[in-house]
Amino acid sequence: MFVFNVKLSRTKIFKWILAIMAIFCVALAGAGIFKMYSTNHELETSQFNCVPSGEVAYLTDENYTNVLKEVHEDLDTYIGQKICYTGYVYRVPELEKNQFILARDMKLENTNQTVIVGFLCSLQNAVDYPEYQWVKITGTIEKGNYLGEIPCLAISEIETVQQPENCIVPAPNENFIQTSVIY
């Protein structure tokens, strides 16, 4: 039989408690640093690394022209981004049979004039939708061609809808700052 005689003094107890607290603090700090790094890495890959989101971005009348402008100016960043929006079918002579423009009328600043703006869209049965018919589409941004390389929405869902009360969208806002994910 072994007899182990432990003589504890206040100094030894204090040192043991201090050592355990130090180990706990180091572990807690390490966990915090790991959490900060992993959260920062997620932000870099999802928002600031120009990786389009797999989620559908629902555009509004207020941000439509801002998003349209941003996507036209930096198309490569938004390839693969899914968007949903309502507009009317508009065609110009140079379009292919499977294409139309998802259009809205944009009010020019300080005037009573409007111009037609919109995304080029591609759809297998595009001819089934008459010009000026209002539709709600969900599509994925791809590279298209209309007098040069421009964004084109490959439509995955389309439905006819009623014309909204306000058909006019505002001009792009110069203060608008877009990220690589549209929301």
Confidence band, pLDDT 50/70/90 cuts, at residue 1: low
Q: Which of 172, 171, 166, 101 is nearest to 132 (CA)?
A: 101
Q: What is the pLDDT of residue 89?
A: 92
* Mean pLDDT, residues 4-32: 82
Q: Which of 46, 87, 92 is nearest to 67 (CA)?
A: 87
Question: Over 70: is that where the pLDDT of 181 sits?
Answer: no
Give residue for tokens 């998003």.
67
Question: Over 50: is that where the pLDDT of 114 sits?
Answer: yes
Question: Over 70: is that where the pLDDT of 150 sits?
Answer: yes
Cα 153–Cα 154–Cα 155 angle in degrees, nearest 5: 100
> Which pLDDT tens digit goes with each residue over 52-85?
456 888 888 888 888 888 888 888 888 888 988 9
Which residue would you say has higher pLDDT here, 37 or 25?
25
Question: Over 90: is that where the pLDDT of 134 sits?
Answer: yes
**Is the distance from CB of 110 to CB of 127 less than 8 angstroms?**
no
CATH number of 56-169: 2.40.50
Question: Over 90: is that where the pLDDT of 44 sits?
Answer: no
